[in-house]
Structure 1
Amino acid sequence: MDRVTSFDRRRALGLGAGVLGGLAAGTGTARAATRTQPVAGRQPAAAWMLWWSPNPATDGLNAFEGLEDDRADSHPGVRHIYVSGESYRFDMHTVDRDGSDRQRNESKGMRSGSTVHKIGKDQTWRITYQAFWPSSLTATTKFTHIFQMKVPDVGGPLWTLTPRQKSRPTLTVLTLRDNDANTEHVLADYTPLQNKWLDIEWEFKASNSGGYLRWVIRNGSTTVVDNRTTSVDLWRDVNYLRPKWGIYRSIESSGLQNTYQLIRNYRAYQLV
């Protein structure tokens, strides 16, 4: 179904406001709540519209716009991205290569059937999921990105989620400012966040100016971090934005191990 047509039909039925939080876990099925009728002459309040909630059992890897799984064929015959139970699993081995000095096994973008969900200029989105990072997914002195927001085929990421080895293992967000310099935001100690399921949330407005990025990490009922920045450039005047998940790391750090990342319960909402 065409995405715009689908949205227009939902809006006509008055279902757009009730999708947030209205999902049965793992089913990929939205439960819409009723919406009060707008007052004459007043615009209806903005609401979060759910566009993407893939079910690994039925959507499989078609949940993504594409995969970057050992593009150099450095580990022949081995799949690095696949469905594992109710999760998507991203494997990385020390022998894997994506160029001479780095490794990359990532999914990119969001797909529902034949529709690719593209994040456009000045749009506001919220992307949520649950992540599991084992002890073997170590913080490194060079880059190890476990999430990226990028413009296809244009430069580096607009922001990343990155475990970094400083005086201790630390989880950071790296954002790109208007002058193309990076800002590092230290979120929390990384080790206590490993070997458990965490809730991750990104909320952002994709704008050159007036944009913002909010990040939230929860460990069960405990909020580990909930912060935001406006010191970030969230648009390039070409193409569209798309998220990437997996492992993308430099080989120029010591202590690299065979490892993986698990992700489940993907959701993507747009403020409409």
Structure 2
Amino acid sequence: MNNPLNRRRALALGAGVAGALAVGTTPASAATWQLRWSPTPSADGLNAFEGLEDDRADSHTDVKHIYVEGDHYRFDMHTRDRDGDDRQRNESKGMRSGSTLHKINKDQTWRIAYQAYWPSSLTATTKFTHIFQMKVQDVGGPLWTLTPRQKSKPTLTVLTLRDDDSNTEHTLADWTPLQNKWIDVEWEFKASNSGGYLRWVIRNGSTTVVDGRTTAVDLWRDINYLRPKWGIYRSIESSGLQNTYQLIRNYKAYQLV
């Protein structure tokens, strides 16, 4: 390096590297999934939710239908329970961590995952039986639902809402093979009128039962924020209704930021 020419070349190279770094060659940060909500039943209890809709009509007084049971949350439904003349509803709504209420706002992308246990007594019905809903806070009907329906055979479906307020029914899988075991459920979605999408994944152990996606869905209303609901919401206008329940554990909600 005693050669003056070599020294000049080294200085020029160093200046070039420094100049390149100074001009903003640092890559932009890629979007990542950040965990927002992961309640522990024993510690958080029912405070994990924004609120409960537990026998609002007082049809089954002095009975709690939503409660912690071991490592999971339990949602009971009895044939006598009512939420209006023709339906039943025992659901939790929203996501809360301590004093923080997690709101799903316009154009945000979220992933919500959990494990569900659906017993044989939770029968597919000819009318609606929703075991998950995504709704606008305190306004209107659901943007999508997870719904076991009695067709030619019991079938798990997703009902999505389109821009014209019509519903599209997506067939996911046979219902019976998914019962009496823990099933992984995952939703990924962008809460938008334009450019929104919904993806659903159902896994039975290591087997992916279905992995579907649609953009033909309206996932925003310019009114309030979105919030998920879990439990059982069903019509009484179907035969074969039984006392039943749904178990949920390992809730997790991530936001893409």
Match of 1:17 in 2: none
Cα deviations by residue, 1:142-182 (Å, 9 ceiling, x for unpaired): 00000000001211000000000000000000000000000
1:103 corresponds to which residue? 88
2:122 aligned with 1:176 = no
Q: What is the distance in 1 between the residues matched to 2:256 and 2:38?
A: 16
Q: Which residue of 2 aligns with 1:150?
A: 135
Q: What is the distance in 2 between the residues matched to 1:236 and 1:245?
A: 20
Q: Which has the larger Rg?
A: 2
Q: What is the number of equivalent residue pairs in this alignment?
A: 234
> Post-superposition shift, 1:42?
2.7
Length-normalised TM-score, structure 2: 0.90
Match status 1:222 vs 2:222: no
User: Residue by residue, what CA displacement relative to the aligned partner does 1:17-64 show, whole Å, maximum 9, x if unpaired?
Assistant: xxxxxxxxxxxxxxxxxxxxxx84432000000000000000000000
Q: Return the alpha-carbon distance in structure 1 between the equivalents of residues 25 and 183 of structure 2.
A: 43
Alignment partner, residue 41 of structure 2: 56
The 3-state SS of whatever aligns with 2:47 is helix
Partner of 1:209: 194
- For residues 199-224 of structure 1, what are the alpha-carbon distances to aligned partners after superposition, in whole Å with 9 as ceiling and x for unaligned? 10000000001000000000110000
Matched, 1:43 2:43: no
Q: 1:94 aligns with which of 71, 79, 104?
A: 79
2:96 counterpart letter in structure 1: R
Q: Match of 1:192, SS?
A: helix
Output the amino acid matched with 2:97: S
1:59 aligned counterpart, secondary structure: helix
Q: Report the TM-score when normalising by structure 1.
A: 0.85
Residue of structure 2 equivalent to 1:191? 176
In the other structure, the counterpart of 1:70 is 55
User: Which residue does the alignment assign to 1:200?
Assistant: 185
Runs of 4+ in 1 over 6 A off after TM superposition: none
Identify the residue that residue 148 of structure 2 maps to in structure 1. 163
Rounded to whole Å, the distance in 1 between the matches of 2:139 and 2:60 is: 27
What amino acid is the match of 1:103?
Q
**Structure 1 unaligned blocks of 5 or more:** 1-38
In the alignment, structure 2 segments of 5+ residues that lack a partner are 1-23
Query: Aligned partner of 1:167: which letter?
Result: S
Identity %: 85
SS in 1 for 2:42: helix
Structure 2 residue aligned with 1:79: 64
